[in-house]
A and B are shown apart, each in its own frame.
Chain A
Amino acid sequence: MFVINCPHCNEPREEEEFHYEGEAFIARPAEPETQTDAEWGDYLFMKKNPKGWHWEMWGHSAGCRKLFVVKRNTANHAIDGAWTLTEARAAYDAEMAKI
């Protein structure tokens, strides 16, 4: 059990109000027709599933019903932050640029 701060409601609420929506920032290929089977299978099915920090989507299903992004540590359930999709994309890109 953990508490998530919905960036839309701007209020910390219990995890039970939310629905987990999976790994964030999986981009749909711009031209599906040109994809090989391997590329398309990777897009559909392959997951990072890291042990450690994970960028993931949550929906505030029993609240404002909006989607947003959480950075959560899968090894101990610590949460680093929660952002709207646009804010999160910027934060994620900045983090990736550092690696």
Chain B
Amino acid sequence: MALKCENSLSLLAHKPITGARLNKDYSIWKLLSQGFKQHQGWTPAWRNPEIKSSYDVVIIGAGGHGLATAYYLAREHGIKNIAVLEKGYLGGGNTARNTTIVRSNYLWDEAAMLYEHSLKLWEGLTEEINFNVMFSQRGVFNLGHTLQDMRDIERRVNANNLNGIDALALNAQEVKDRIPMINISKNTRFPIMGASFQPRAGVARHDAVAWGFARAASNYGVDIIENCEVQGMDIENATIKGLQTSLGYIRTSKVGCVTAGHSSVMAKAAGIRMPIESHPLQAFVSESLKPILDTVVMSNAVHGYVSQSDKGELVIGAGIDHYTSYAQRGSPHIIEHTAAAIIELFPMFSRVRMNRQWGGIVDTTPDACPIISKTKVKGLYFNCGWGTGGFKATPGSGNIFAHTIAHDEPHPLNAAFSLDRFHSGHLIDEHGAAGVAH
């Protein structure tokens, strides 16, 4: 079923913010009064509670998606007795490691509607959770380097426009007019022929998203428990009964698993097979420079993308390492390849020094689309398979996954993203829009 934009727009409408939440709002007055006290009076943004022995809903994984899920469960579905269990520290997984590109210019209706739902939530998120997520709609360029790239761009831009999503197809000169330092010379290995451009796309502050959702969820009474690893699932008659964790047994009848690269490990504990492979994905940042790049540039063909953070660092990301891994590091030749690609796009970056480099473990699927789904175990739900591009979906993913858990029924926007599609054959092939691009 193709989702029509009109229907989904009503789903996108924000609900008014109700009284009970956020007793400790941040404001200009708080900032001023704290200024007089040398900022010594700030209290922690979220509670650090003792773990209880039973919860109505347990979310596994305190990344952005898990925390957003808990927040929307409490806020939109009135469920209060919720825990989010995290084996490491809050937001320390892919949420902390990603290059923060947010966009919604996906090809197929189902994916476009899903990511556009999320983009709409981003647009109001800072106000909604009273935490500055530094969402900056500076636009994203997806470059084309071959005739086939340009045909695909044309097709995707048209599909986006039909779905009410802003998108433009630009030729090489139009790209150059907007990004004067880009190299559109014909004397490169893969000359730039043009680009798609989404003006409303951009970047956000990765940590702030995790912290903001943690604070907002905590204010609703959600218990966020760090250093608590889920080690086993207690399943009886194909129904979830509880979880074995490093802090003991927890009784619950609903579990939402949002563990990104570790989703296959969790699925195995539940006796479920997943079409997921975990790969390293690497990124690196430069020393800080004066503002030089005011937008985001990505290229699938040459495997690299770049933006500039508010601190002035160039934030550069690569394609995945092809082998599977859980080691949170990849191979140096991938970095070398990406640096070469970036320097061909921007020759003036050739003498910029790189500061830090790291890897995350991304959960890739055969169709480059996520799995937001019920499972054959009653009360056990999975939200995974976001691969190289789930940061942009953080609020939308949490929002519809909360619906799925609360109603034991998918939200219209995630019905197509069930685990069943790998048996029915209804794949949503987004390799063109999401293969390398994030």
A: which residues have CB within 8 A of B? 1-2, 15-16, 19-20, 22, 37-38, 40-42, 44-51, 54, 56, 72, 74-77
Contacts and interface: CB of A to CB of B under 8 A. Distances in A.
Nearest to A40: B423
B265 A51 contact: yes
8 contacts: A16-B331, A20-B322, A22-B277, A45-B275, A47-B274, A51-B278, A74-B325, A75-B326
B264 A50 contact: yes
Contact of A46 (B265, B274, B327): B274
B130 interface: no
Contacts of B278: 49, 51, 74
Contacts of A51: 262, 264-265, 278, 326
A19 B322 contact: yes
Contact of B273 (A19, A42, A50): A42
Contacts of A38: 423
A74 B277 CA distance: 11
B331 A54 contact: no
Contacts of A20: 322-324
B324 A54 contact: yes
A57 to B, nearest CB: 11
Contacts of A15: 331, 333
B424 interface: yes
Contacts of A48: 264
A46 B275 contact: yes
Contacts of A50: 264-265, 268
A37 B277 CA distance: 21
Contacts of B322: 19-20
B264 A47 contact: yes
Nearest to A16: B333
Interface string B266-283: 001000011111100000
Contacts of B264: 47-51
Interface residues of B, number: 24
Given A1-B331, A1-B332, A15-B331, A77 B325 contact: yes
B366 interface: yes
B16 interface: no
B26 interface: no
B425 A37 contact: yes
B422 interface: yes
A77 B333 contact: no
Nearest to B424: A37
Contacts of B422: 41, 44-46
Minimum-distance CB pairs A-B, first 7: A41-B423, A45-B275, A49-B264, A46-B273, A20-B322, A20-B323, A1-B331
A49 B276 CA distance: 7
B324 A49 contact: yes
A56 B366 contact: no
Contacts of B425: 37, 41
B275 A74 contact: no
A76 B323 CA distance: 12
Contacts of B265: 50-51
A64 B10 CA distance: 59
A62 B423 CA distance: 36
Contacts of B423: 37-38, 40-42
Interface in B232-277: 262, 264-265, 268, 273-277
Contact of B324 (A37, A41, A42, A56): A56
Q: Which of A2, A46, A48 has the most CB of B within 10 A?
A: A46
